[in-house]
Amino acid sequence: MGQYRIGLLIGSLRQESINRQLANALTKMAPSSFTFHECRIDDLPLYNQDDDSHQAAPVRRLKQEVREADGILFVTPEYNRSVPGVLKNAIDHASRPYGDSAWQGKPAGVIGGSIGAAGTAMSQQHLRNILAYLDAPTMGQPEAYIHVKEGFFDDAGNVANEGSRKFLQDWMDRYAQWVRLHVDAGRARA
């Protein structure tokens, strides 16, 4: 079995955000053959097509990190029923200039948590639409709209509730299987 490097994109910049906590808990559930690298998105300029021919250093760094990843894991909140602006900005940067998208062919997983009962359903659906256009094969099932209540995480940052922990472990196992399916097929062709 090979090693898999996963680019982690967290759609919230806040250090104590629910989704950062969820991302940290999920990475602990991954197989030992998976390593995660958080792709920094807080220092990207606002996307401007005029800059496509001379992308800023943070943009070039992000594109390189995405290209070096075997797969991508998006852990995102929902802002105003959609994808947070900072995440959309990062996606736009790494997809440009036209014909030079870093996302193409990267197997992706989409998950998110919220204090709202609907989790991040709308944000995830919008993100899936974007990734479909960018030709990033995105795991469709199981969907995971995580409703985070007080006590969802224990003091060590793990998922406290056994049922939620089992559900998220199953989700992570499926994501790992999704990445292996796409990456191993590509490695076999190489």
User: How confident is the model over 94-112, as a mean pLDDT?
Assistant: 97
Model confidence pLDDT, tens digit, residues 114-156: 999 888 999 999 999 999 999 999 999 999 999 999 999 999 9
**pLDDT at site 186:** 74
**pLDDT at site 4:** 97
- The pLDDT confidence band at residue 83, using thresholds 50, 70 and 90, is very high
User: Does residue 158 surpass a pLDDT of 70?
Assistant: yes
User: How confident is the model over 69-87, as a mean pLDDT?
Assistant: 97
- The pLDDT confidence band at residue 93, using thresholds 50, 70 and 90, is very high
DSSP structure class, residue 16: T
**pLDDT at site 117:** 87
**pLDDT at site 190:** 66
Best CA proximity match to 145, nearest among 122, 109, 113: 113
User: How confident is the model over 21-49, as a mean pLDDT?
Assistant: 98
The answer to whether residues 93 and 55 touch, using CB atoms and an 8 Å cutoff, is yes
**Average pLDDT score over the chain:** 96
User: How confident is the model over 10-27, as a mean pLDDT?
Assistant: 96
Q: Please name the residues in contact with 69: beta carbons below 8 A apart, sequence gap of 6 or more.
A: 5, 6, 7, 37, 39, 106
More confident residue, 148 or 187: 148
User: How confident is the model over 41-65, as a mean pLDDT?
Assistant: 98
Kindly report the number of other CB atoms within 10 A of residue 135's CB atom.
Answer: 12
User: Does residue 171 surpass a pLDDT of 90?
Assistant: yes
Give the CA count within 13 Å in the CB-facing half-sphere of 137: 13
Least confident residue range of 23-32, 81-90, 112-121: 112-121
The answer to whether residues 17 and 98 touch, using CB atoms and an 8 Å cutoff, is no
More confident residue, 65 or 117: 65
**pLDDT at site 113:** 96
